[in-house]
Amino acid sequence: MEGKAYTPDEVAQIFQISKHTVYELIKRGELQAFKIGNKMRIEQAELERYKENTKAPAKKNTSEPLPIMPALSIRLSGSHDFLVEHFTKQAASALNLQIQPSYIGSLEGLMMLYRGQCDIAAIHLLDPTSQEYNLPFIHQLFVYESILVLRLAAREQGFIVAGGNPKKIQDFHDLTRKDVQFINRQKGAGTRFLLDSKLSSYGIDPRQINGYGTEEWNHLSAASYISRGMADVTFGIQSAASHLGLDFIPVAKENFDLVFRFTAENKQCLTELIDYLQSDNFKNSLTDLDGYSIQELGKITYQTRKTEETTC
């Protein structure tokens, strides 16, 4: 979360190269980027790292080019979360790994894992029937694959409102008031799953909510509508409210998990990532924990038998 994040167009202008070259650098893993929805971003720290690498002096006796060793890039897809951002940065640095995050929502992240298009899914999906998080979806999708589910944190979800709560919003029925403007999360987001489940349980028709159809792709973007006075309330996590100095009304606690899918190619890297996430070094690096509980950080909540044999 530190520093500015640049678009590929801005990076192209900084380095005086074409936008296509920027995308090629990202594709080859020379420049690490992340996605929020369908938008690509590159962080300031990553630009500085790339600049330093390009300044490295050439070695003598280079009549023959050095062989380029292909580096495995670990792909993480799913829900946007501040702890996930922190984990990917810390782990990439500590383990010298390339980690490519794509924040596209819990459901789509899990489906990408199912299709073999990523290695890790970050999810918080509430099953409305069992009221259980994540595992009902995992049991339905993954039958023969090597899967391990690791608890990252429990999070507080609730209403994010302006300081002092000027519209006096207390419960879901307040969202239907004519004087209240709402901002929603996109379909497939775990937060949207929880919101719709709550609305259904209270018998509230979403069409009664002003702004229900207006969607944003991450917690901070949705909360920024409140800080800019463009909406009165959104449904999201406490840490997003804290980052923008907004008020938060807690509604529910949820479990946020990372789902690892092992293959012959990624087995070693994923094992190292799991060891790091369960380490004291990572736990001690966590400082900004408003709205999070990390008591179960690193706990294995589910793994297939095949995974148990693979990771022994």
What pLDDT shows up at residue 310? 55
Is the whole-model pTM more than 0.85?
no
pLDDT tens by residue, the chain, 312 residues: 446 788 888 888 888 777 777 887 787 677 788 877 777 888 887 888 777 766 544 444 444 444 444 457 899 999 999 999 999 999 999 998 989 999 999 999 999 999 999 999 999 999 999 999 999 999 999 999 999 999 999 999 999 999 999 999 999 999 999 999 999 999 999 999 999 999 999 999 999 999 999 999 999 999 999 999 999 999 999 999 999 999 999 999 999 999 999 999 999 999 999 999 999 999 999 998 999 999 999 999 999 976 665 554
List, by residue range, all CATH 3.40.190.10 domains of the chain.
Answer: 5-50+71-153+256-311, 157-253
Quick one: tokens of 208?
């009664």
Burial of 233 (0-12, 13-18, 19+ CB in 10 A): buried
Element spanning 153, H or E? strand 146-161
Its CATH class, for the domain covering 157-253, is: alpha beta
Its CATH class, for the domain covering 5-50+71-153+256-311, is: alpha beta
What pLDDT shows up at residue 57? 44
